[in-house]
Chains A and B, each alone.
Chain A
């Protein structure tokens, strides 16, 4: 029987970070809890924070469940996490500049050329280009799980457009509104300056040809996108325009936005659309979402695109296994955060091990996300495992496998009161002229008892994440 690290209770005692919450929960009668939960749901519904779930049918504007029990880190715990996350963000960006430049890490034989240059996320179109300040990934979402008091593992890196930061901000706002006393009694680091830090980060990578205060916009695929709420939310909080492809156009060497006062030059585009769609003259010619000619402006220094096209090659799940090597190679440091041991089904020995041990492993698609197309061995039936085995054998290089991690639990409000549920953490590291991390992130919780899958598409919820001031 696996034992799981409970972040609040250890050996019958309450761990230090949660000391301030013990009285709070003990004093909360069931009827008050239910009333508060109803209040939270009504608030979320009113502000309209919803998250469409692909492939499940049903209500596309369904709420992600919010759990009121906060997840807490001490200042010291966070300091170490922060160092590790920033280290990773620096290494990932160094890797991206390298593989679109001289490819030293490939020449050094530390990562197979095939994995980089034949990767579908490798964009030939930006080969030879170094974006302003040498940054490809401006918002790095690092998914972290905890298995013990000092044991943290990185599950995956998200170097393109990690979503969910709106939940970090809304969860905090919700808690402050509903439980103001908690924020007087506990010294909790603020996260509400994230939008301003994001705006500063984006402005700091303005292109060379920008001579004034840079104009930043968010480029969204539109309201039918599952993260549209977040796009408009961030635009509002940053005080920048939310635009669609048709609102932008290229004239000469620059990109302009149509406004009621006439065309306005745009310097930095925080795009929330995929590479393939951003410019039909460079990528998919049938894309209607992008801006024709954008890539020529970008490559000639007339506009910055965040994240930079091509950044996806760093967050590929097979490339992930080499991140510790990247940290050593580019930074000359030992990685602070551990990688989860990963078997690459593209390699014969690994494939053999994986297919013989499917019942104990988690198997993922190399390019999958959102908890789709994965197998959690210990939670699957024989038939599900056999079906997945056939899929792996049909295309081994499309899969990686990892051991089933003993994800930590935190107390969570459930039907019958409070019970431990498994959690992960996605902090958002900002990379521009400086590297910054707001103290906190998105804690996702697997609400179903025993479930280890925290994705919102698979029954996951969110929690407020606290970092206590030292």
Chain B
């Protein structure tokens, strides 16, 4: 499937800032499920900084914008050819060992309720079947309600309140999987959902590591495994470390953020 992306993030500052520094994970991952046809990231008025591929296989690119500046626009455009691999991250080159994804972070600490859910994996005869059961249970336990949580909501909090967005689904799945002894990580990317511009097009899901198969994506928010409608960008222990854009500004006042994302299927 050919997917085109047009993703614009606009930062506005109350007062001009003296400078902006950002770190991006905005390049599509290199694996058998996706092939980049063309891809561009621009930061209006910015200088591209150091770039490298990290141990998890992500392309990381630094940017700086010299001030004074009161608005920054980060634009991602491109086309990716995707293939449905039933969620399996095949052919992805990375050096980070799966064991490095067993550590809990503040957002993915498992409480008693998450440990209980993890028994769907530990009690399963087949680990893969257990993963599917766990992902399904998370979908059931946390209803998709936009605005019901914040960026700082933890997995345990989201599960307790029974509502959340894709970040919360992913965190809960990761927390429970790790509690079951399975390496798990947070993945950020895009999803082509229906037509037109969608606020859900900037998406997140989880990957679980199953010995003998490797990393497998699960998207509890959509009750499926990532297929040809998904574009994978990068991963991390949780939403914070996997964020497509991490940034900060020097000086100035409050920052407001406007994001538009359009992911469309291109007519073949």
Report B53-67 CB contacts with A as 1/0, cut-off 8 Å: 111100011101010
| Nearest residue, chain A, Cβ from B102 | A118
| In the bound complex, CA of A249 to CA of B19 (Å) | 10
* Interface of A, helix, strand, loop or mixed by DSSP: loop
| In the bound complex, CA of A297 to CA of B64 (Å) | 11
Check B97–A125 contact: CB distance below 8 A.
no
| In the bound complex, CA of A281 to CA of B60 (Å) | 12
Check B95–A102 contact: CB distance below 8 A.
yes
Other-chain residue from A113, A128, A300, A302 in contact with B96 (beta carbon distance below 8 A): A128
Interface check B51, CB cutoff 8 A: yes
Report B76-98 CB contacts with A as 1/0, cut-off 8 Å: 00000000000000000011110
Report B245-256 CB contacts with A as 1/0, cut-off 8 Å: 011101000000
- Known interface pairs A106-B97, A127-B100, A128-B96. Does A252 touch B52 (Cβ–Cβ under 8 Å)? no
Check A128–B54 contact: CB distance below 8 A.
yes
| In the bound complex, CA of A103 to CA of B23 (Å) | 27
Interface check A282, CB cutoff 8 A: yes
Within the complex, the shortest CB–CB distance from A132 to chain B, in Å, comes to 14
Within the complex, the shortest CB–CB distance from B72 to chain A, in Å, comes to 14
- Known interface pairs A282-B23, A293-B21. Does A118 touch B99 (Cβ–Cβ under 8 Å)? yes
Check B96–A124 contact: CB distance below 8 A.
yes
Total interface residues in chain B, CB < 8 Å = 35
Within the complex, the shortest CB–CB distance from A186 to chain B, in Å, comes to 52
Residues from chain B with Cβ under 8 Å of A280 in the complex: 248
Other-chain residue from B55, B237, B246, B250 in contact with A128 (beta carbon distance below 8 A): B55
Total interface residues in chain A, CB < 8 Å = 37
Residues from chain B with Cβ under 8 Å of A298 in the complex: 50
Which of A102, A299, A301: most chain B Cβ within 10 A? Answer: A299
Other-chain residue from A124, A252, A301 in contact with B47 (beta carbon distance below 8 A): A252
Within the complex, the shortest CB–CB distance from A102 to chain B, in Å, comes to 7
Interface check B157, CB cutoff 8 A: no
Check B103–A252 contact: CB distance below 8 A.
no
Check B95–A101 contact: CB distance below 8 A.
yes
Interface check A181, CB cutoff 8 A: no
Within the complex, the shortest CB–CB distance from A266 to chain B, in Å, comes to 14
Check B100–A293 contact: CB distance below 8 A.
no
Other-chain residue from A102, A120, A300 in contact with B51 (beta carbon distance below 8 A): A300
Report A70-112 CB contacts with B as 1/0, cut-off 8 Å: 0000000000000000000000000000001111001000000
Other-chain residue from B22, B49, B95 in contact with A127 (beta carbon distance below 8 A): B95
Check B95–A128 contact: CB distance below 8 A.
yes
Check A299–B52 contact: CB distance below 8 A.
yes
Within the complex, the shortest CB–CB distance from A130 to chain B, in Å, comes to 11
| In the bound complex, CA of A285 to CA of B100 (Å) | 21
| Nearest residue, chain B, Cβ from A284 | B240
Check A297–B100 contact: CB distance below 8 A.
no
Check A118–B51 contact: CB distance below 8 A.
no
Residues of A whose CB lies within 8 Å of any CB of B are 100-103, 106, 113-114, 116-118, 120, 122, 124-129, 249-253, 280-282, 285, 292-293, 295-302
Residues of B whose CB lies within 8 Å of any CB of A are 19, 21-23, 47-56, 60-62, 64, 66, 94-97, 99-100, 102-103, 236-237, 240-241, 246-248, 250
